[in-house]
Amino acid sequence: MQEHETNTSGDGASERLKALEPLTSERVRRIAALSRLELSEADVETERVRLAALLGYVERLRAVPIEDVPGTEGDAPGASEDDRPVGPLAPDEPGEVLGVEVLGRMSPDSVGAYFRVPRVLGEGGA
Amino acid sequence: MSGAFEIASGVRTGAVRAQDAAADALRRAREDIDAGEDGLHAVLQMFEDRAMASAEAIDARVARGEDPGPLAGVPVLVKDNICTGFGRTTCGSRFLERYESPFSATCVERLESAGAVVIGKTNLDEFGMGSSGEHSAFGPTRHPLDRERVPGGSSSGSAAAVGAGIAPVALGSDTGGSVRQPASFCGLVGLKPTYGRVSRWGLVAFASSLDQVGVLSASVRDAALTLSSIAGHDPRDSTSSAHPSEDFTRELAQTLDGIRVGVPKLASASQNHPSVHDAIERTKTALQARGVQIVPIELPSLEQAVPAYYVIAPAEASSNLARFDGVRYGRRAALQPGEGLDVLYKRSRTEGFGEEVRRRIMLGTHVLSSGYYDAYYETAMRVRRVIAREFTGVCAENGVCDAVLMPTTPGPAFRLGEKTTDPLALWLEDVYTTPANLAGLPAISVPAGFTEGTDTGGVRLPIGVQLIGRAFDEARLCRIAHAIEVSAQS
């Protein structure tokens, strides 16, 4: 449902420069849309100021020398476990399932084996 | 109120009735609920009939000569982001206000298998996001010693309830300090186990690589006793460790001779409340008196933990909370004619999530976005690895120390509303607790004194200190913490 503009193979140097650009209202609206959250125009500015302050604080991460430190690729199965905070994942094997009836009971609106949703066709961005 | 160890010992020998212990705890929980805004707002719901039936069954087992388990008849409260197959699991959120889980978390199953009696669920910062207990959709929790102050968070209700003596033990969850920080504020022990030590199955995910179920209690013994019952491998949690559970109380009475405790130099120390500095110094002196060697250590990247945490945790939260869409779980917003699925998603989430959760989702979405991923998420993950290396370097078997001593929080419990308009101020509450989560290491907060009260409105507020240990070395961590506890009480 939620959309991420994920890009794991970006150009690190250009991304770092982009991240240093001021957070704009347009970018905040885009983040809200990607997060599937409504944001009033008044809230856009409030959130822009707060998110900018938080992201500004996060900038101090750049003080840590990390050139020789493996990133997320170091968490791949088989990578060294010496400094991995999270142990290796168990094999992804089928286990117990809750079943359609239970899933339906958890839903705010279901019919038989289906979740009921509003009209989907003809919408953009859903 | 007796502690968990005393209650269980009494129930197992027949000297105490589980039904009496449950009834007493339920009465105290009822008083909190009935007090409404005048109460602590620690307990969100109670399971009176179920708890009394469980207690009756335990008493019957004792009467038949059976042993109901190490937590026999101990009344326990459970943070409301831990699923129970009875009652509701709200996560402190409007989104899940009426959500009923079809199953109980592994840790709840194990508590009950050990003889504990689950009496209710506790308030929390929504989905575990907060360090004050003020971000619950159902209203803030209050500090048991000063109603104008926060009990800490996000396990706010668990801390306030144990601090007020409603129950001797409560489960919490600790993603960046959510067990240890409220424990420190409320004068309790807060134990966050090694990542993977306790199953996360049934813990509603906030940041999956950081979340751990933990224990809040009035004593180290009770925390260790409870951890012994809930730890151990669970095939239903893909991150569960193969390490079997242990008797974590077994080393409590042992001497500390030969133990080495590292104390890092902290760049932020000058900003801490003076009572925090005093508590650390007293603790060092007390440990040395018991044969501990205090070792100065360097953890150069320690204070980069907060910025790393506040990239990684929101990133994981934005992904985990994507499942709350108004279709599969919880709240669904009302639509106008012609409005479609995208509006349903957005309105359900906007109405269902509180401000702090919405902000963290947006932050997480931003740092994972194309064009920003390397600059934020990838960088934070590398810094996380640096922090883990620094800890494992000093705490390795052949390292310079067996555990690290540092503050749990920069200061005592703060006033309600004091930090609600400044998210960054609230983040900085986590400066000493987030490193253990990032490194996946066990950590415990233990009471180590009080403020003088002169700058806290005449109220002497508790101050905790924290020990961080080697992975899966909780028994030794509890042993050192127990010595600190005894010293602070003498």
Q: Is A109 on the interface with B (CB under 8 A)?
A: yes
> Between A7, A59, A126, which is nearest B371 by CB?
A7
Place of tokens 């309600």: B416
> Between A12, A37, A98, which is nearest B346 by CB?
A37
Q: Is A36 on the interface with B (CB under 8 A)?
A: yes
Portion of chain B with pLDDT greater than 70, in percent: 100
> Between B321, B332, B359, which is nearest A47 by CB?
B359
Other Cβ atoms closer than 10 A to B201 = 20
CA distance A78 to chain B (A): 15
- How many angstroms separate the CA atoms of B208 and B398, rounded? 30
Question: Would you kindly state where each structural domain of chain A is located, as residue ranges?
Answer: 1-70
Does pLDDT of A19 surpass 90?
A: no
The residues of B that are catalytic are 79, 154, 178
Q: Is B346 helix (H, G, I), strand (E, B) or coil?
A: helix
In a domain, B358, yes or no: yes
In a domain, B288, yes or no: no
pLDDT range class, residue A81, cuts 50, 70, 90 = low
Please list every residue in chain A whose beta carbon sits closer than 8 Å to the beta carbon of residue B241. 87
SS3 string of chain A? CCCCCCCCCCCHHHHHHHHCCCCCHHHHHHHHHHCCCCCCHHHHHHHHHHHHHHHHHHHHHHHCCCCCCCCHHHHCCCCCCCCCCCCCCCCCCCCCCCCHHHHHHHCCCEECCEECCCCCCCCCCC
Does pLDDT of A113 surpass 70?
A: yes
Interchain proximity B369–A8, CB inside 8 Å: no
Q: What does the pLDDT look like over B14-73, one tens digit per residue?
A: 999 999 999 999 999 999 999 998 999 999 999 999 999 999 999 999 999 999 999 999
B281 near B331, Cβ under 8 Å? Answer: no
- B304 DSSP 8-state letter: G
pLDDT range class, residue A9, cuts 50, 70, 90 = very low
Interchain proximity A12–B378, CB inside 8 Å: yes
Domain that holds residue B314: 308-367
CA distance B330 to chain A (A): 6
Does pLDDT of A8 surpass 70?
A: no
Please list every residue in chain A whose beta carbon sits closer than 8 Å to the beta carbon of residue B235. 90, 95
Please list every residue in chain A whose beta carbon sits closer than 8 Å to the beta carbon of residue B392. 82-83
CA distance A62 to chain B (A): 8
Interchain proximity A86–B195, CB inside 8 Å: yes
Interchain proximity B374–A10, CB inside 8 Å: yes
Counting as low any pLDDT under 50, the low residues of chain B are none
Tell me the pairing of strands B260-264 and B293-297: parallel
Place of tokens 């937590």: B71
Selection from B397, B406, B412 nearest residue B468 by Cα: B406
State the pLDDT at residue A125. 44
Nearest CA in chain B to A68: B382
Task: Give the ipTM of the model, two decimals please.
Answer: 0.91
Number of domains in chain B: 1
Q: Is A113 on the interface with B (CB under 8 A)?
A: no
State the pLDDT at residue A94. 83
Please list every residue in chain B whose beta carbon sits closer than 8 Å to the beta carbon of residue A92. 238
